[in-house]
Chains A and B, each alone.
Chain A
């Protein structure tokens, strides 16, 4: 069975799916990612699906599960690079992938993650009187 590689770049885990997603591959990816988030302590996950021609309902649901699992582990997930044809097909099927954050490309995805981390720390600043307690990322 083929496996999807998970790359660590700074505070982000990058997953670029270059093969046809079969159900087993998707489940394996879900397990691998959860493990890597815990091991690396990353706070962001980017899943690039720009090479995928087909996203079926199972893969769609797995992506949603991955997003939920990462959120529990304090990592934000962004799905990037969905093709227009894939988006149209998903809409026609009535699958709007609730709970998944999306961006047009990897660059915008990284920006989005950086912004949401900033917001989080800004909130912390307001909550806590002592700014020295804020750890640098």
Chain B
């Protein structure tokens, strides 16, 4: 049952007339549900703002949250859901911040009990429900944006290509390798090869928790692509457990050089270039 403009203005008056009582009741019931995780001053400010926004919207003749008159209310609701989502409150705790207005309003209306008041209240309740739904939608959107941001940051963080020696670059892979990450790693490695003109690349998989056929496929593709461009790849950092998995799965690395440690791989590459690693002679005493 939607709110009529007539009812809206009546509720606006109610909100104004009982502002103090409503605010106290509202803040109290939100505070209990948040169990002291937000300071009461902060909470009072929020409910105060929200109450004013509700009153303005209703006084302006808004019968739905999507009305023009409710623009300020929408902004307030969005702000509340933003801060709740970023502070790590769950969906219920966010929704209660709006729903609590219904309890507070019922208490004020409790003094008069006729059919007309009940009808008014149901209409008002629908309006608050819509507002809460709007808040919830916004809350979900903010949370999803947070997750997307974090996934992107993870992608950025986890794929450095480092220069080990003149003409030798290394990619220390850390974490599970899915298709998206493998693609990023491959592109970044190949681009670095072109930029630095390094004919050797070492792919270190010490930080990869598990190697299955898919991960192996990604690594093999990278190696073949690097070869096509004229660079040689060495795979290092194969832990004993992973070596056993690779054999058990029947993954063939073919003629790709594999080494147990990054140090071994570097020594192997230096051996293939014009460098030779020898221990320096100690000065005799």
Q: Interface residues, chain A, CB within 8 Å of chain B? A: 78-80, 82-84, 86-88, 90-92, 96-97, 101-105, 107-109
Contact = CB atoms under 8 A, between A and B. Distances in A.
A82 B221 CA distance: 16
Interface string B259-280: 0000000000000000000000
Given A80-B230, A83-B194, A84-B190, A108 B199 contact: yes
Contacts of A109: 230
A107 B197 contact: yes
Contacts, number: 59
Given A84-B190, A87-B229, A88-B186, 10 more contacts: A82-B229, A83-B194, A86-B228, A87-B190, A87-B228, A90-B228, A91-B225, A104-B229, A105-B197, A108-B199
- The B interface is mostly helix, strand or loop, or mixed, namely helix
A102 B197 contact: no
A109 to B, nearest CB: 8
A105 B229 CA distance: 9
A87 B225 contact: yes
B230 A82 contact: yes
- The A interface is mostly helix, strand or loop, or mixed, namely mixed
Interface residues of B, number: 18
A102 B230 contact: yes
7 contacts: A88-B187, A88-B225, A91-B224, A92-B221, A103-B199, A103-B230, A104-B199
B193 interface: yes
Interface in B186-200: 186-187, 190-191, 193-194, 197-199
Counting chain A CB atoms within 10 Å of each CB, the highest count among B190, B225, B227, B228 belongs to B228
Contact of B190 (A88, A96, A102, A108): A88
Contacts of B230: 78-80, 82, 101-104, 108-109
A120 to B, nearest CB: 19
Given A105-B197, A107-B197, A90 B227 contact: no
Nearest to A104: B230
